Structure 1
Amino acid sequence: MNNIKNNVLGGITAAVVALPLALAFGVASGAGATAGLYGAIILGFFASLFGGTKTQISGPTGPMTVVIASAVVAFSGDINAVMTVVLIAGILQIAFGVLGIGKWVRYIPYPVISGFMSGIGCIIILLQINPFVGVESSGPILQTIIDIPKTFQNASLPSLIIATLTLVIMFFTPKKISSIIPSALIALVVMTYVSVFFSFSIPTIGEIPTTLPEFILPTTFEFIKLKEVVTFAVTLALLGTIDTLLTSVVADSMTKTKHNSNKELIGQGIGNALCSFVGAIPGAGATMRTVINIKSGSDSNLSGMVHAVTLLVIVLFLAPLASQIPLAVLAGILIKVGFDILDYRFFKIMTKVPRKDLVIMSVVLLLTVFVDLIMAVGVGITIASILSIYHISKHTKFQTKKSKDIIALDLKQSTTKVLKIHGSLFFATSEMLEKRMNKLKNVENIIIDAYSVGFLDLSAMLTLEEIVQHLVQEHKEVYLLLNEANRRKVLKIDTKGVFSSIHMYKTLQQAMNDIEKRAMVNG
């Protein structure tokens, strides 16, 4: 009974925190406050019902809002196209869960995640400059930056006052108070009251319907937009996956539990897909709301569903009050959210980290802000992978010795040499192997000792096949030492019978014994 009580209270607390953020993200997306609220309600309920992280609270988040805002601009008023993006993104997330892709997110390098999240934080801050001062938004980030002098020249003093005071509340509310009443909610209520009391003439959210949203058929859009739709959908799906599973890891560390990443993606996918049918914006696992939920004593998915139902009650009965909320207040709240997303952990150690990590983080951050979110992650992972491959290849060593240096064996006129390979054999080291083999001249018996090679990829196997085939054609005796796993690998691809035609052993002693026997027979 106590657990049920804690989960209900945790859900209600999470809803109170989610309310101003859902409104703010909805407005920031360009789809409207209602879209943000129903995104929190629908995703929050179904992600909790079907997801794999018991204490996670889901709803609109900064990164997802940035993408959906870009889609709203790109499709300029075509809500069906925007919602098709959301539907496909949800379906892709379900597919990710079914295919077990969730576990691969953990292999994204930290500098990539750091640059990406800090880039998202910068985007949110920059996009809220215009609403902060009561000026109509300029559109793209670069244009917003260029227009900053003009923006402040046309600033509305009442909007600037309201937004600045909102920021003061967000940054300086004592923790003793904010732990009981979220600072975002305090700012929302207090500054809305101030605006109404002084009759400030500033932009507000406007009317929020108190009825359930209308049904939308997402797939009715112009086919010519398919490429853009799919691009945005893939971006949303990947972003939602990363955002959600990072929050799941945070939840695990706090609750000492283990989430089911694939089940979580299926739950997120179902929730986001359903959002598309009512014009709601998509979202992901929300770290701040999840942390507050856990600190409130929640330990099951009941809290997430209570959070969604609480928001629905607020929408249906308190919407007229919300319609008077100034956009400047939401801008102040979102700017604080943007600062919270910045990766201060990396910034504190950026002068001490390896140069390659700093380069990766910086490139990803700049590409995220000024170019494209998916490109930023893709380029970051590519750079990190190339540098990692280079590092690994540097640790692969090739050592050539005469047989007598390896084993106590004195064969007269012996022309046996051993090539010992330390490290990994893969596409980045295949050429090194080939070059080293070409240096072996005047040799009758060649032992390729690759027994300690842990990783052997197809590129290396094919290179090894070509080397062996060439040596055999030159009438040389080839001895190949492989562990059992790699031996099975090369024999599977041995369509030409190259590997099966040579001597394959597990130990150097076995190979040397064979050479000795042959030498005695021939001698």
Structure 2
Amino acid sequence: MSKFIPKLWTTLRDYNREQFLADVTAGIIVAIIALPLSIALGIASGVTPEMRLWTAIIAGFFISAFGGSRVLIGGPTGAFMVIVYGIVVQYGLDGLIIATIMAGIILIVMGVLGLGSLIKFIPYPITTGFTSGIALVIFSTQINDFFGLNLSEIPSEFIEKWGAYIRHFSQLSLSTTFVGILALIVAILWPKFNKKIPGSLIALVVTTLLVQVFHLEVMTVGAKFGELSRAMPMPHLPVVSIERLKELMKPAFTIAVLGAIESLLACVVSDGMIGGRHRSNMELVAQGIANIASGIMGGIPATGAIARTAANVKNGGRTPVAGIVHAAVLFLIVMIFMPYAQLIPLSSLAAVLMIVAYNMSEWREFAALLQAPKSDVAVLLMTFSLTVLIDLVAAIEVGIILAAFLFVKRMADAADVSILLTDRFEDEETEPLQKMEKDVVVYELNGPFFFGAADKFVEALRDFREDYRVLILRMRHVPIMDVTAFNALLRLEKRCRTHHVKLMISGVQAQPYKMMSKNGFVQRIGETYFYETIHEAKAGARAWMAQNEQTRDEHFLQYLKEQTAH
């Protein structure tokens, strides 16, 4: 049951003062990084900045306290921005809270069922495709605030959204655009001078002071949302009905799947940075607890944040204490500085999110994947296009289905069925053999023998001559066999039995043999006709034909005696 023990409990056994100081330092820095991101993501998601900040505090604490990673930092992320916005528009804030709690329950179930390891089965082109697609969607949602177009209603569809931007671009505000560009420049250049304090925070401070000092006509957080409250939210559950749960099941499942993927990917990345190993199922359980707590407290979905986790590692964080400190520092910041957040220009926050989108885009990896095999490129472009034009759920579903079909095709192409009529068998065990007798035929199977390759097997047997006396099926390179392939093998055995051809098998591996034995196939043809090597099978074929010949002669002599006696 060690896979369900939080990493916090494990790491505290050998904890010391030096590591505590390093964790505190890392936690403070990560909190400062999370502050502007949480505010920006909250506004872009269609919720208030407070909801994002309290999500970062509440969910961040639970993810670190109960998670399966030493260094993962949890909270609201850019990937959820698109989903959250869509849920708020369609189902309202109460719908979002219910979906978040439902997603938490789903995540706990996934962890308990041991589904944490399934992340390894999601192909890289899919994760790159939907991550790049989300980045483009995030970037496109910031155009209105960055240029001050003042559009009250923005279409949710990607193409229609850009059409609205183009039609109203003449309405841009020069002062708003100037502030946005300045925020971009500061955020990009600041790390060249200081890497400890995030450039996004400095950009917000500089542009906020600029707007206030010079009284620039720029839309601010307070102008849009009014006064921001620093009061701690109280537990609250919206009215729930069966119909409501049914209609929110799909959004909840989307949140759960995306949260699991992003968190476990962040865990894998952080493992590589610290040389550690996370507990994937415990991490899913912690993500579930965090999302339930966030929903009950009026927050929104949370997951592991790759960028904040990387910052934690780079600044010395090595235990979940750093994540807990990050949540505590954010709490203090909200209590003290929340009223000042309403002075932040929206164009500055848009600039911060544009940088987030750029960092998420993985454009170098995307460009490199375009040189991959055509099947991988197809999965990449399909996932990317559906993420941008339809939604993330459709992108993941279609991407996985397409990747699965292409994988099956590759495996089927790799599988081979051939008839051996060579003068020798290449086998290191014995000397080269002479040509097989004309009464014996050998078929060799290579690769996984499954439904994708069963058709090849059936096609190859069309050349099977019914005047053979022995058919040897060589299976030394068949690691697995499924029920479809077994059915094809059973058809071969019935055909052999009908035409009095003896079927023998050589080199069968453990899994195929187990399936044959379990379904009575071994007993059907006789366990003695399974051989370790092709040479033993050939010798067995000779012995069987000799014995069969002798038996036939004895029957003939007996027949002659009976006829003579009459």
Shorter-chain TM range is over 0.9
Calculate the TM-score normalised by the size of structure 1.
Answer: 0.94
Indicate whether 1:211 and 2:231 are aligned: yes
Q: Is the 8 A contact 1:213 1:278 kept in 2?
A: yes
How many residue pairs get aligned? The number is 518
CA distance in 2, matches of 1:263, 1:501: 46
SS in 2 for 1:314: helix
- Tell me the distance in 2 between the aligned counterparts of 1:395 and 1:410: 27
Tell me the amino acid that sits aligned with residue 124 of structure 2.
Y
What code does the residue aligned with 2:538 have?
Answer: M
- Cα distance in 2, alignment partners of residues 169 and 432 from structure 1: 62
Q: Structure 1 pair 485/350, CA: closer, same or farther in 2 (3 Å)?
A: closer
Match of 1:48 among 42, 46, 64: 64
**CA-CA distance at 1:443 after TM superposition:** 1.6
Aligned twin of 1:467? 492
| Aligned counterpart, 2:530 | 504
Distance of 2:352 and 2:545 partners within structure 1: 84
The corresponding residue for 1:152 is 169
Q: Is residue 420 of structure 2 the alignment partner of residue 401 of structure 1?
A: yes
C-alpha distance in 2 between matches for 1:289 and 1:142: 32
Pairing partner for 1:483 from 472, 485, 509 = 509
Asked if structure 2 preserves the Cα contact closer than 8 Å seen for 1:127 and 1:137, the reply is no
Q: Partner of 1:162 in structure 2?
A: 179
Superposition deviation, residue 288 in structure 1:
1.5
Cα distance change of structure 1 residues 444 and 424 upon mapping to structure 2, 3 Å threshold = same
Instruction: Tell me, yes or no, if the aligned pair for 2:516 and 2:522 is still in contact at 8 Å.
Output: no
Secondary structure of 2:444's counterpart equals strand
Aligned pair partner of 2:479 in 437, 454, 475: 454
Relative to structure 1, is the Cα distance of residues 96 and 196 closer, same or farther in structure 2, using a 3 angstrom cutoff?
same
In structure 2, what is the equivalent of residue 237 of structure 1?
Answer: 256
| Aligned-partner residue type, residue 45 of structure 1 | F
Where in structure 2 are the equivalents of 1:49-448 lying within 5 Å?
Answer: 49-75=65-91, 77=92, 79-134=93-148, 135=150, 136-140=152-156, 141-177=158-194, 179-206=195-222, 207-218=227-238, 220-221=239-240, 223-350=242-369, 352-402=371-421, 408=433, 414-441=438-465, 442-448=467-473
Which 10-residue stretch deviates more, 10-19 or 209-218?
209-218
Secondary structure at the residue paired with 1:68?
helix
Aligned partner of residue 428 in structure 1, secondary structure: helix
For 1:422 and 1:496, the matched residues in 2 are separated by 21
Whole-angstrom CA distance in 1 between matches of 2:377 and 2:446: 30
The whole-number CA distance in structure 2 between the counterparts of 1:99 and 1:338 is 34
Q: What's the CA shift for 1:404?
A: 7.1
Aligned counterparts of 1:501 and 1:351: Cα–Cα separation in 2: 51
Give CA deviations for 1:2-55 in whole Å, capped at 9, x if unaligned: 211111111111000000001111111112101100110111100000001111
| 1:443-498 deviation line (CA, Å, top 9, x unaligned) | 22111111321121222112212221232233221112322332112221338964
Once residues 411 and 211 of structure 1 are traced to their aligned partners in structure 2, the CA distance between those partners, rounded to angstroms, is 87
Cα distance between partner residues in 2 of 1:133 and 1:499: 78
**Letter of the aligned partner of 2:18 in structure 1?**
N
SS in 1 for 2:296: coil
* Paired residue type of 1:126: S
For the residue of structure 2 that corresponds to 1:425, the secondary structure is coil
Q: Distance in 1 between matches of 2:247 and 2:522?
A: 46
Cα displacement string for residues 98-139 of structure 1 (whole angstroms, at most 9, x for unaligned residues): 222121212222111111111010010001111212323503
**What does residue 541 of structure 2 align with?**
515
TM-score, with length taken from structure 2: 0.87
- Matches of 1:512 and 1:298, distance apart in 2: 65
Contact 1:56 1:251 (8 Å CA) reproduced: yes
Q: Shift of the alpha carbon at 1:409?
A: 6.1
The structure-2 alpha-carbon separation of the partners of 1:500 and 1:27, relative to structure 1 and needing over 3 Å to count, comes to farther
Residues 48/212 of structure 1: CA separation in 2 closer, same or farther (3 Å cut) = same
- SS in structure 1 at match of 2:235: coil
How far does the alpha carbon of each residue in 1:191-234 deviate from its partner, in whole angstroms, 9 at most, with x for none? 1122222223433323221211132214x245444444111111
Letter in 2 for 1:490: M
Q: Does the CA contact (< 8 Å) of 1:162 and 1:329 recur in 2?
A: yes
Change (3 A) 1:428 1:36: same
Q: Quick one: which of 28, 41, 50 aligns to 1:34?
A: 50
Q: Select the structure with the greater relative contact order (CA < 8 A; seq sep ≥ 6).
A: 1
Contact kept? 1:483, 1:506, Cα under 8 Å = no
- Match of 2:452, SS state, is coil
Alignment-derived partner of residue 556 in structure 2: none
How far the C-alpha of 1:501 sits from its partner, in A, is: 8.3
Structure 1 residues 515 and 382, CA gap change in structure 2 (3 angstroms): same
Give secondary structure in 1 for the equivalent of 2:318. Answer: coil
RMSD: 2.2
What's the secondary structure of 1:173's corresponding residue? helix
Residue identity opposite 2:87 in structure 1: A
Q: Which region of structure 1 is more displaced relative to structure 2, 82-91 or 476-485? A: 476-485
Alpha-carbon distance, 1:348 to partner:
4.3
Percent pairwise identity: 31
* SS of residue matched to 1:449: strand
CA deviation after TM superposition for structure 1 residue 376, in Å:
0.9
Query: Using the alignment, how far apart are the partners of 1:486 and 1:351 within structure 2?
Result: 38
* Aligned mates of 1:240, 1:130 — CA distance in 2: 28
Report the Cα distance in structure 2 between the residues aligned to 1:329 and 1:409, rounded to whole angstroms: 82
**Larger Rg, first or second structure (1 or 2):** 2
How do residues 9-24 of structure 1 correspond to structure 2 at under 5 angstroms?
9-24=25-40
Secondary structure of the corresponding residue to residue 417 of structure 1: strand
Contact 1:25 1:62 in 2 (8 A): yes
- Whether contact under 8 Å (2:454, 2:488) holds in the other structure is yes
For residues 303-354 of structure 1, the C-alpha deviation after alignment (integer angstroms, 9 at most, x for no partner) is 1001001111111221111122222221111111011111122244255333
Contact 2:191/2:198 (8 A) holds in 1: no
1:410 to 1:366, Cα distance in 2 relative to 1, 3 A: closer
> What is the CA-CA distance between 1:289 and the residue it aligns to?
1.1
Q: Is the 8 A contact 1:419 1:446 kept in 2?
A: yes
* SS at structure 2 position matched to 1:53: coil
- Which residue does 1:7 correspond to in 2? 23
Describe the shift of the 1:365–1:501 C-alpha distance in structure 2 as closer, same or farther (beyond 3 A): same
Change (3 A) 1:174 1:296: closer
Task: Give unpaired runs (5+ residues) of structure 1.
Answer: none
Counterparts of 2:479 and 2:50, CA distance in 1: 56
How many angstroms apart in 2 are the aligned matches of 1:297 and 1:408? Answer: 66
State the Cα distance separating 1:425 from its structure 2 match: 0.6
Given that 1:424 and 1:456 are in contact with CA atoms closer than 8 Å, whether structure 2 keeps it comes out as: yes
